[in-house]
Chains A and B, each alone.
Chain A
Amino acid sequence: MKILWQREWALKVRTPAGWLYPVVFFLMVLVLFPLAAGASPKLLAQIGGAAVWIAALLSVLLGMDSLFRSDLDDGTLEQVVVARYSLPLWVLIKVAVHWLTSGFVLTLLSGLAIPLFGLSTDEASVLALGLLLGTPTLTLLAAVAAALTVSLRGSGVLVPLIALPLQLPVLVFATGAVDIVQTGGQVLPVLALLAALLILAVVLLPWAIAGALRLALAQ
């Protein structure tokens, strides 16, 4: 299992462009949004949470369609199946490493919302906590779409089309959390809900992804 983990890391290190691009995209939206939205600090603080979340959601979707493509094309997936290695476990390792170079980096960078959108430290911490709990779920849902379309050429458009409707609830709850802090409400129930969604996603979705990948192999 350690070697599988190392392999995924080595792949991320050798091909940095693939995962840096979504991160840079996220940064660009974060920096450009306040510039374009005008100089009203009150308005910026109000829409800050939503803007960061939309940027995070789109950034997570970027590049997801190629998550399993090279493994299908070069025969790695075949070898995992022939060796009867647990496909859901392999998927989970792959998605986890991918999240560490995407969703997790976004969570760290979301601290920039304090200077850029004028969020308070409390608001920014709830935002970061929401991203920490929400982006893994978003990544897993996008991975389902990536696995379903892996054998189709030019499926870049299909992944967001399949994944976005499933990801919407996470977006709605998570942006709501920042609003609740701003109006002085209880934020814990919303974060608990995000955590519950994450647990469900981690337990169930690797099996769904593995099933979709098996279908792609049999074609």
Chain B
Amino acid sequence: MPDTDSPALILDDLMVMRGDVALCGALNMAVHAGEIWHIVGPNGTGKTTLLMMLAGLLPIQQGRLHWQGRAAQEWSTLYVGHLSGLNSSLSVLQNLQFLANLSQQNTRISHIDDALMQVGLAGYEDVPVARLSSGQKRRVGLARLWLDPVPALWLLDEPLTALDVAMVERLNTRITQHAAQGGRVMLTSHQPVACVTHTVDLAQHVVVAEDDR
């Protein structure tokens, strides 16, 4: 049952657009506390674009996005996208401290060490990110999910890419735990994700170009 105390994130006739091109039809959905949404669809149907719009990276040109009437800007969001957000010449610790500071999370070294332990990178604090493998970089980006206080809305773009089985398992557990605490998660993945509670298929929203009439 959705938590009625916490307002839902509402997508109201939201058009997923890149520039002037609509990638799929208008979306109408409500994301309640405790829900984990899996956004699926073939390549090019706007999964990443939708997440970027929700994150405030792309302007919303048609339709509305709001938290039951309140501006979406009032909500803290954690976005893990295709780009890692990590500077390759800085160390793992320096990068995480910077990102934690941006999203007003605890930047104490011991706290970040704990998060690194959760993603299996204990002892990597002072290693420059340039020396990590792509899977390890991915883990550093995901370590932010274990930092307190964690933002309520998680937008994860292909979080499972380059992760090993054990880490996928741990990530599933963490997402479930976050949802149980009233958080909400929207993620894209071409692999099946065990913890999802809802699925939206962008392919079923594909618009027929109006010129075709």
Q: Which residues of A contact B (CB under 8 A)?
A: 3-4, 6-7, 10-11, 14-15, 70-71, 73-76, 78-85, 217-218
Contacts and interface: CB of A to CB of B under 8 A. Distances in A.
Given A7-B98, A79-B79, 5 more contacts: A10-B94, A74-B84, A78-B57, A84-B56, A217-B57
15 contacts: A3-B97, A4-B101, A14-B128, A70-B87, A74-B84, A74-B87, A75-B86, A76-B85, A79-B99, A79-B103, A81-B55, A82-B77, A84-B73, A85-B102, A217-B57
B172 interface: no
B59 A80 contact: no
B90 interface: yes
B88 interface: yes
B83 interface: yes
A201 B84 CA distance: 32
B181 interface: no
Contacts of A78: 55, 57, 79, 81, 83, 85
Contact of A218 (B59, B82, B103): B59
Chain A binding surface, main DSSP class = helix
Contacts of B81: 75, 78
Interface in B129-180: none
Contacts of A15: 89
A81 B94 contact: no
Contacts of A84: 56, 73
Given A75-B81, A78-B57, A79-B79, A11 B87 contact: yes
B83 A74 contact: yes
B86 A74 contact: yes
B58 interface: yes
Instruction: Report, nearest first, the 5 A-B pairs whose CB atoms are least far apart.
Output: A75-B83, A83-B102, A75-B85, A3-B101, A79-B85
Contact of A82 (B57, B82, B97): B57
Interface string B65-106: 000000001000111011111111110001001110111100
A80 B85 CA distance: 9
Contacts of B102: 79-80, 83, 85
Contacts of B79: 78-79, 82
B107 interface: yes
B72 to A, nearest CB: 10
Contact of A11 (B83, B90, B107): B90
A218 B58 contact: yes
Contacts of B86: 74-76
Contacts of A6: 94
Contacts of A74: 83-88
A81 B84 CA distance: 14
A14 B89 contact: yes
Given A3-B101, A83-B103, A75 B84 contact: yes
B98 A3 contact: yes
Contacts of B87: 7, 11, 70-71, 74, 76
Interface in B90-127: 90, 94, 97-99, 101-104, 107
Contacts of B55: 78, 81-82
A44 B160 CA distance: 66
Contact of A3 (B82, B85, B107, B128): B107
A195 to B, nearest CB: 32
Nearest to B103: A83
A82 B103 CA distance: 9
A7 B94 contact: yes
B40 to A, nearest CB: 23
A2 B2 CA distance: 40
A82 B73 CA distance: 10
Contacts of A11: 87, 89-90
A104 B107 CA distance: 31
